[in-house]
Amino acid sequence: MSTKILIIGACGQIGTELTQKLRQAYGTENVIASDIRKLNTDVVTSGPFEVVNALDYNQIESLIEKHQIDEVYLMAALLSATAEKNPAFAWDLNMNSLFHVLNLAKAGKIKKIFWPSSIAVFGPTTPKEQTPQYTIMEPSTVYGISKQSGERWCEYYHNIYGVDVRSIRYPGLISWSSPPGGGTTDYAVDIYYKALEDKKYECFLSEETKMPMMYMDDAIKATIGIMQAPSENVKIRSSYNLAAMSFTPKVIAAEIKKHIPEFEITYAPDFRQKIADSWPASIDDSAARADWGWSHEFDLEKMTTDMLNHLSKK
Ligand code: VAH
């Protein structure tokens, strides 16, 4: 019997690539993509698609029953910068969509859940270099507070109700297939687009702002990897630290200049600088590597080559 999967938020930055990779792995007809609107043509036209409001319990429940869903990937959320502009809605969307899916699993209607957390759960009092799996967590953004709270609820539902929910603290993610999505780390996506289009980029962070980053291919590998791991190997049920590389805007600009010599970067830090300064510079992800065999493939050089190759064809 094939595993039937529902992706909520399938048209978002992670959802678009996750949908394609899951359809390759499980068969197109077994992966139901869904989002609040038909926001991505490829996702909507490449397999089963449903319009769903992640805040409507009954809509989600009826999709699960209609398609006999086994696993749910809940990818709908407001990211850090957008959430600061709309705190109440960000809290509502990020938290209540999670409660709906956790409660459907508690009711026995879903076998397994993936829920994305973020390095945004860490704050200005967290050790900045090689941030440990267990450490001080005082997030100073609405997004980070919602992710920290969500992690606590995931662990609670696992421990008290036996819900099989698995989670990863994504670093900043970089992808060629979906445009920047309101995240503080999304300068590292936009810079590639602007380098090709304009040969210049004005960065909204300062040149020495070092943050943990990851290519989307690696993020999708980790997402599917933790979901396919034997349950007993997933020892941490709040969320796993995950890392691949860390760099500053100055370093990524220098890597791009190797491909586009005339590329120039300037700096005009805005409100997002304070968000970035509250986050770690690098992450210790040894627990994920030990528990379920995580390893990354892309470094900055390999990612830059792949990004520019894909974007120049796009
Ligand atoms: C953001 N890309 O910038 C997201 C991410 C670590 C940051 O969660 O909001």
pLDDT tens digit sequence for 169-206: 999 999 998 877 778 999 999 999 999 999 999 999 99
127 C-alpha to center of ligand 1: Å?
A: 18
Q: Which two tokens stand for residue 8?
A: 């909520």
Domain(s) of CATH 3.90.25.10: residues in the chain: 173-213+245-313
CA of 120 to the centre of ligand 1 (A): 7
- Rounded to the nearest angstrom, the distance between the alpha carbon of 195 and the centre of ligand 1 is 22
229: which 2 tokens? 């791991």
C-beta of residue 188 within 8 angstroms of C-beta of residue 252:
yes
282 lines ligand 1 (CB under 6 A): no
Q: Answer whether 118 contacts ligand 1 (Cβ < 6 A).
A: yes
- Output the six-digit token pair for 253: 């600009």
**DSSP H or E segment with residue 121:** none
Place 267 in a pLDDT band, splitting at 50, 70 and 90.
Answer: very high
CATH 3.40.50.720 in the chain, residues?
Answer: 5-171+214-241
Q: What residues are paired with 74 via a beta bridge?
A: 8
143 among known catalytic residues? yes
If pLDDT is split at 50, 70 and 90, which confidence band does 296 have?
very high
Q: 173-213+245-313 maps to which CATH number? A: 3.90.25.10
Query: Considering 143, 170, 201, 215, which one is annotated as catalytic?
Result: 143
Q: Does domain 5-171+214-241 fall into CATH 3.40.50.720?
A: yes
Q: Burial level of 108, CB count in 10 A (0-12/13-18/19+)? A: exposed
Nearest-angstrom CA–CA distance, 29 and 31: 6
Cα–Cα distance measured from residue 193 to residue 201, given in angstroms and rounded to the nearest whole number: 9
Q: Average model confidence (pLDDT) for the chain? A: 96
- DSSP-derived letter for residue 93 is I
Which atom of ligand 1 is found nearest the CA of 119? 6
Ligand 1 pocket: which of 82, 85, 118 to mutate (most atoms <8 Å of CB)?
118
What is the bridge-based pairing of β-strands 200-203 and 165-170? unpaired
